[in-house]
Structure 1
């Protein structure tokens, strides 16, 4: 049965609330690795609001596009489509405000493993030229649910990403017949605390040190991230050894791209805060 009586009309707030809630229901099942059938969800939404299957599919893609901008996981089967009405921002705002855990979704509790460590490494994404400009509504939503601040304060996400990289580094050296070096890898941020300017001490097969700073996100590769003053300084002082491992899509299919100093050659470094003291 086709539901097309509302074709061409803007979605109402009630309709948007229904589809946003349904999208997050599917996303939760996907992240938990629970099976679900997208067509069943589509049919249920169609029955509830009287929209066509195609219209609902496209709105799911709109939601993916907004979550992509928020640095949140999105459903792989619904590739982001950016031509959306502004009312969708308010609907997602309402949902995330009422369900804060959706905005601060934790990384999987189990340790992730890969059969071939090198398979998770991907090229660094290219910057847009010129950068795309967000609408005022989307910019407001991103400021409210700042992905940079959220990921920075998500300790479990950070620890999960570091554990993931630690396992990859150990397996990489074992695969290269350097089990002796694999045993010497140190989780510096866990053993000594933050402040060293890197998280993991690893090695090249030659024995050369690698100082790895891990930045983890559940969102896409282009999600921005924080670097501390110490991290930037150590990257400059130890540019021969320091590397950034940017882990992304961690809750779904983790991938890593790397950045080597000088950081300013690959990253745009924008000051976000200042240390203040009485004059």
Structure 2
């Protein structure tokens, strides 16, 4: 169902539940509830969920084992396509950033599961996903300036990470309507609005040095309905920052 949904193909959930019910001798309501349990676990690790099956968290621990087997033995259902050219894609929907929530404790078994399928680490390693997100934001920034009657600035927008490589601390050089620089770092995920992400030391340092210009664009739900929000420094007021790795040296 998820593969069909992400491919834009129609399907009927009730038909799927009926076929599954014949195989496992469970009621449609029971199967619907179990799918909602699956959604709750997938949301914890930043994986897309099936629309209409909202997360229901009161699940049994056995479901974690089943989901872990599925994720470790089968390849991902969706891989983003990158055009290789700067063709005009659909523009993502820009919305307000989510509010910072109080920290919450997870059961130990769920904490282990989330750590194993670290959404931030997965998205950080997925260069194809990151490149696709950067390309989308590059076009978004150009179109925004065109809509603001600044075609002169739109022509100056640069995809720095693609043209010069990583290391600048941002991906897109853009501008505001008055010509001020916007140093846009793009973070992309297939997951939901609050899926964690990685911020490099270089990116964090730039956000503190160029508080006037640094912008972090968080692009999410990239597989089917891309949406994004913008974070501005100080980032520690918008997200909870924590040290994730350590460098080991001999001198």
Give the TM-score taking structure 1 as reference length.
Answer: 0.85
Q: Say which of 100, 115, 126 aligns to 2:75.
A: 100
**Structure showing greater Rg:** 1
Ranges in structure 1 where 5+ consecutive residues have no aligned partner: 1-25
* Alignment partner, residue 252 of structure 1: 224
* Alignment partner, residue 44 of structure 2: 69
CA offset digits 1:172-213 (Å, max 9, x no partner): 111111111111100000000000000000011111110000
Q: Say which of 143, 167, 176 aligns to 1:171.
A: 143
> What is the RMSD computed on CA atoms of the aligned residues?
1.4
Residue 194 (1) aligns with residue 166 (2): yes
Higher relative contact order (CA 8 A, sep 6+): 2
Q: How many pairs are equivalent? A: 247
Q: Report if aligned partners of 2:124, 2:197 keep a CA contact under 8 Å in 1.
A: yes
Q: Which consecutive aligned stretches of 4+ in structure 1 deviate over 3 angstroms post-superposition?
A: 108-112
CA offset digits 1:224-270 (Å, max 9, x no partner): 11111110111111110011001111112111111111112222111
Q: How does 1:114-263 map to 2 (within 5 A)?
A: 114=91, 120-129=93-102, 131-263=103-235
Give the TM-score taking structure 2 as reference length.
Answer: 0.94
* Alignment partner, residue 16 of structure 1: none
SS of equivalent to 2:115: helix
Ranges in structure 2 where 5+ consecutive residues have no aligned partner: none
Q: Say which of 14, 22, 28 aligns to 1:39.
A: 14
Separation in 2, partners of 1:244, 1:204: 14
Q: Report if aligned partners of 2:48, 2:192 keep a CA contact under 8 Å in 1.
A: yes
SS of equivalent to 2:76: helix
CA offset digits 1:126-185 (Å, max 9, x no partner): 2333x3322222222212211111000001110111111111111111111111111110
